[in-house]
Amino acid sequence: MTKFDHKVNLPKIFGDNNLAILPITRGDYVISQFSAYQEFVPPLEEFHTVRVPAHIQSLMPKYLVSEAIALNCANACGILNDFLEDDDLVSTVSGRMSSGSFEFSIDAGVGQQVLTVNNSQIEIDAAYEGINYLSLFEAKRDISDDFLIRQLYYPYRVWSKRVTKAVKPVFLVFSNGVFYLYQYEFTSPNNYNSLRLVKQKNYIISPEISLNDIQNILQNVPICEEPALAFPQANSMPRIINLMELLYERPMTRQDITSEYSFDVRQTNYYTDAGRYLGFIEKNNNDGFIYFFLSGLGRFVMDLSHKERQMAIISAVLKHRPFNETLKVYLRCGETPDANTIVQIMKTSNLYRIEADSTYFRRSSTILGWINWILGLVEEC
């Protein structure tokens, strides 16, 4: 009832009155006007390529179905050593623990407010201790716009009292073989709202895709008839794939998706419609609730190996003429096509119920977003 991992999840009365909620004991909470959430900065465009060690078979991206497994994979691939800049890392603690007692201040609407946490249950996904640091991890499988600061702050306060070495709070977001890592610090340890980003890096398990692989698909994939569905307005292919990962576990309602992703309902509609356009997601009505679930094709794709999954998604995109023709122009000219060029391709592609030029131009950003994702998979030699 009080688990609101993203700001958009808060009840309407909280949003209308700029309220947030925090636990201070196992059964007590404080409600006040303060900022409980931190927005993620947009991740850097640079990705560092890593590989799963050849002798490890159980940590391929298709098997990363939990935070713990993803952290094990990041460690095995050398991601944690590189990002944490520490040696002899050992996984130490995870799960629930008692906080003991500590005081902290929050920046309330009328000034500082002091709170005391006393024996509240705190969860931590993992801790890795090296020679110089204890690094505390919060890990998530969903790509969202913000997170609850408490998920980093409470463990940080507890372990800062228990060890003498510096404590690093780290947030890890992972999806489809990509790891986004954010290291933070609390510049004033007693102040909940003193969080500052120290660094951010991205790592990707190499899909081992070449430009020739892309060009072979581009030339040989059969062009399909455009479906009787709204043309996508969902620029982020990683978010579409991340949604497929979550639907692989269970069907979800529109509200489930909205809550999981820190989406509003309109964004949920855009991304589920994009998955339906590609043939990966279906929906049905059950007892008045609309449920979204993976189609047979979607489930087949998610069961593929890492490289084959990317190739199947690329094929599903490029069988649609607007994307196919735009990528051909991109490769032929050696530069990003402008919006006017993309719109002209769209207007000759028999798209479903697009009439206004303004709609064409808005939807053209999806084409460019997906094409850039495809080309971003190519491993440089």
pLDDT in tens, 133-148: 999 999 998 888 899 9
Of 205, 222, 256, the last residue of a domain is 205
Q: How confident is the model at residue 66 (pLDDT cuts 50, 70, 90)?
A: confident
Is residue 29 domain-resident? no
Q: How confident is the model at residue 266 (pLDDT cuts 50, 70, 90)?
A: confident
Of 166, 186, 205, the last residue of a domain is 205
If one compares 200 and 63, the residue with the highest pLDDT of the two is 200
Is residue 199 domain-resident? yes
Is the domain of 227 the same as that of 369? yes
**What's residue 60's pLDDT?**
67
Q: How confident is the model at residue 77 (pLDDT cuts 50, 70, 90)?
A: very high
What CATH code is carried by the domain that includes residue 347?
A: 1.10.10
Tokens representing 331? 């490769």
**What's residue 231's pLDDT?**
96
**Which of 56-60, 141-145, 269-273, 341-345 is least confident?**
56-60
**What's residue 381's pLDDT?**
40
Residues linked to residue 283 through DSSP beta bridges, in sequence order: 292
Is residue 33 domain-resident? no
Is the domain of 289 the same as that of 324? yes
The percent of residues in the chain predicted with pLDDT above 70, rounded, is: 97
Is the domain of 219 the same as that of 131? no
**What's residue 295's pLDDT?**
98
Is the domain of 142 the same as that of 254? no
Is the domain of 268 the same as that of 332? yes
Is residue 4 domain-resident? no
Of 205, 230, 246, the last residue of a domain is 205
Q: How confident is the model at residue 15 (pLDDT cuts 50, 70, 90)?
A: confident
Is the domain of 190 the same as that of 48? yes
Chain segment 317-338, per-residue pLDDT in tens: 999 999 999 999 999 999 999 9
Is the domain of 43 the same as that of 183? yes
Q: How confident is the model at residue 34 (pLDDT cuts 50, 70, 90)?
A: confident
**What's residue 112's pLDDT?**
83
Given a contact cutoff of 8 angstroms between Cβ atoms, the answer to whether 314 and 214 are in contact is yes
Q: How confident is the model at residue 278 (pLDDT cuts 50, 70, 90)?
A: very high
- Residue 114 in this model has a pLDDT that exceeds 60: yes
Is the domain of 46 the same as that of 145? yes
For the stretch 341-367, what's the b/e string if a residue is b when 16 or more beta carbons lie within 10 angstroms of its beta carbon? bbbebbeebebeebeeeebbeebbebb
What's the mean pLDDT in 73-100? 91
Is residue 27 domain-resident? no
Is residue 259 domain-resident? yes
Is residue 16 domain-resident? no
* Predicted TM-score of the model (pTM): 0.86
Is the domain of 228 the same as that of 134? no
Is the domain of 362 the same as that of 249? yes
- Residue 167 in this model has a pLDDT that exceeds 90: yes
Give how many domains the chain has, as a whole number: 2
**What's residue 62's pLDDT?**
66
- Residue 282 in this model has a pLDDT that exceeds 80: yes
- The per-residue pLDDT of the chain, averaged, comes to 91
- Residue 257 in this model has a pLDDT that exceeds 50: yes
**What's residue 2's pLDDT?**
62
Is residue 365 domain-resident? yes
Is the domain of 293 the same as that of 185? no
Is the domain of 201 the same as that of 222? no
Name the residue range of residue 364's domain: 211-376
Chain segment 182-224, per-residue pLDDT in tens: 999 999 999 999 999 999 999 999 888 999 999 999 999 999 9
**What's residue 109's pLDDT?**
66
